Amino acid sequence: MAEDKGEGKEDYKLEANSELRFEVEAGATVQLELAEGKAEIFGTELTTNRKCTFLAGAKVAVYTWHGCHIKLSGRTDVAYISKDTPMTIYVNTHQALEQMRHIAEEHVTRGPRVLVVGPTDVGKSTLCHLLLNYAVACGHSPVFVDIDVGQNDIAIPGTLGAMVVERPADVEEGFSLTAPLVFHYGHNSPAQNPTLFNILVSKLGEIINTKCNEIKKSNYSGVIINTGGWVRGTGYDAIKHAAGAFEVDVVIVLDQERLYNELKRDMPGFVKVILLPKSGGVVERNRNIRTEFRDQKVREYFYGTRNSLFPHTFEVPFAEVKIFKIGAPSLPASCLPLGMKTGDNKTKVVPVTIGPTVQHHIMSISSASSVDHNILEANSLGFIIITGIDMEKQKFTVLSPSPRPLPKSILLMSDIQFMDIE
């Protein structure tokens, strides 16, 4: 049963176990109100008579277990009700994880550590969001790890991150990002430097193991890990590596039987590998939309989701910072210095000369205090963009979320660029 709607104000009466799916048209916003009954958006319960606004490009599903009445106003690309959703299967998965949490608490062991994998556009991020929301609603504080360096939900593209989730996500703003732990990777695909990617995944795994040993509640609550859609060849190896680094005991494979069978074959016996269907509502995103989405994430970092933040602009003398990038171009083995292996160039910390070429690149402020520290594995304190360079004055201008001065002096340059234009 599907209804196609267009513009203006529309009322939708949903039966039990159905969902209203809609996309907000480019350049428009859509207001949603729950007039009657109970409903949720990706695991966050809606409040009756509270209007929520969704911005252009948002793809939303309002699900109801027992029926509800929804009012939409604004221009939607497409809006329809579907009764064909995998929500019951997803909630059963949550119940199984919940049981593992109870056993962990009883026996003072670890809660479930879940790796969510699958090809692109199958709803991996949405499922993580849902499982985290349900866990929080049951009183847990799970750790959310996002190692999708292209479409990361914790920090900006080109990073890997982790955080403890203590409150359900806000339907408009997502999870509140209190004290996330973020690492600089510098590219939007793990394929660009798998060596560095795996090192950072191992580092995150180590930190999470230590934290979970210290914080009992997080240990019982478990860890939910989101991944990117790279599942073949080196991408598959990276999935296996992540499963080991986070010591996962559950792998959820969305939509792809082949990947499911490969992982069943290759994971150790104590790891439960589960195949779940994707929702028919998940919308495919082409390359352009992905690029736009990444730009939007960077913009949100500086300006907030609804332009509610006011970033700072100030000048920094060249002499106050040192810029590096990680990874040097590969050299043939015969040209390498004695004792250096061909893979070593991928983790090489290379100084970058400040000049016009650094403009518009995302710069991560490293927590390392000096070049003698392990810069590679130092977490990021935040991000800035160099928006202008004055070679004569030997100063550059930055866009920064915080006022001057920069908290540390080592900057790591990302491949990813951001032009600060409307």
Ligand X SMILES: Nc1ncnc2c1ncn2[C@@H]1O[C@H](COP(=O)(O)OP(=O)(O)OP(=O)(O)O)[C@@H](O)[C@H]1O
**Of the candidates 48, 47, 26, the residue with the CA atom closest to the CA atom of residue 35:** 48
Q: 191 vs 283, which CB is nearer to ligand X?
A: 283
5 touches ligand X by CB under 6 A? no
| Residue 126 contact partner, candidates ligand X, Mg ion, none, CB within 5 to 8 A by sort of partner | ligand X
**Closest approach of Cβ 398 to Mg ion, in Å?**
30
| Residue 113 contact partner, candidates Mg ion, ligand X, none, CB within 5 to 8 A by sort of partner | none
Contact residues for 64 (Cβ-Cβ < 8 A; gap 6+): 14, 15, 16, 17, 18, 19, 37, 38, 39, 40
Q: 40 vs 148, which CB is nearer to Mg ion?
A: 148
Interactions with ligand X, residue window 21-80 (CB under 6 A): 21, 59, 61
Give the residue, chosen from 112, 123, 142, 205, that forms a contact with ligand X under the rule CB under 6 A. Answer: 123
Tell me the residue number closest to Mg ion, measured at CB.
125
**Closest approach of Cβ 263 to ligand X, in Å?**
16
Pick the piece of the chain touching ligand X (CB under 6 A) from 122-130, 158-166, 173-181, 405-413.
122-130
Question: Tokens representing 87?
Answer: 């929500």
352 touches ligand X by CB under 6 A? no
| CA angle (268, 191, 382) in 5-degree steps | 100
Name the residue type at position 186: G
| Residue 298 contact partner, candidates Mg ion, ligand X, none, CB within 5 to 8 A by sort of partner | none
229 touches ligand X by CB under 6 A? yes
Q: 125 vs 380, which CB is nearer to ligand X?
A: 125
Q: 280 vs 317, which CB is nearer to ligand X?
A: 280
> How many whole angstroms separate alpha carbon 10 and alpha carbon 186?
44
Interactions with ligand X, residue window 135-194 (CB under 6 A): 148, 151
Name the residue type at position 14: L
> How many whole angstroms separate alpha carbon 165 and alpha carbon 173?
14
**Closest approach of Cβ 46 to ligand X, in Å?**
15
With contact defined as beta carbons under 8 Å apart, do 294 and 315 qualify?
A: no
Question: Tokens representing 197?
Answer: 């990617």
Interactions with ligand X, residue window 267-306 (CB under 6 A): 279, 281-283
**Of the candidates 127, 135, 151, 146, the residue with the CA atom closest to the CA atom of residue 61:** 127
Q: 60 vs 100, which CB is nearer to ligand X?
A: 60
**Closest approach of Cβ 84 to ligand X, in Å?**
10
Interactions with Mg ion, residue window 123-162 (CB under 5 A): 124-125, 151
Q: What sections of 215-275 are H helices per DSSP?
A: 216-221, 234-245, 257-266
Please give the C-alpha separations between residue 177 and each of 59, 180, 220, 287, in angstroms, as whole numbers. Answer: 21, 6, 21, 27
| CA angle (232, 233, 238) in 5-degree steps | 85
Give the residue, chosen from 25, 33, 77, 121, that forms a contact with ligand X under the rule CB under 6 A. Answer: 121
Strand order in the sheet with 68-74: 9-14, 68-74, 30-37, 52-54
**Closest approach of Cβ 127 to ligand X, in Å?**
7
**Closest approach of Cβ 270 to ligand X, in Å?**
26
Question: Tokens representing 241?
Answer: 């590596």
> Burial, 357: exposed, middle or buried (Cβ in 10 Å; 0-12, 13-18, 19+)?
exposed
**Closest approach of Cβ 8 to ligand X, in Å?**
21
Please give the C-alpha separations between residue 29 and each of 63, 307, 354, in angstroms, as whole numbers. Answer: 20, 14, 41
Q: 279 vs 380, which CB is nearer to ligand X?
A: 279
Residues that bind ligand X (CB under 6 A): 21, 59, 61, 120-126, 148, 151, 229, 279, 281-283
Residues that bind Mg ion (CB under 5 A): 124-125, 151
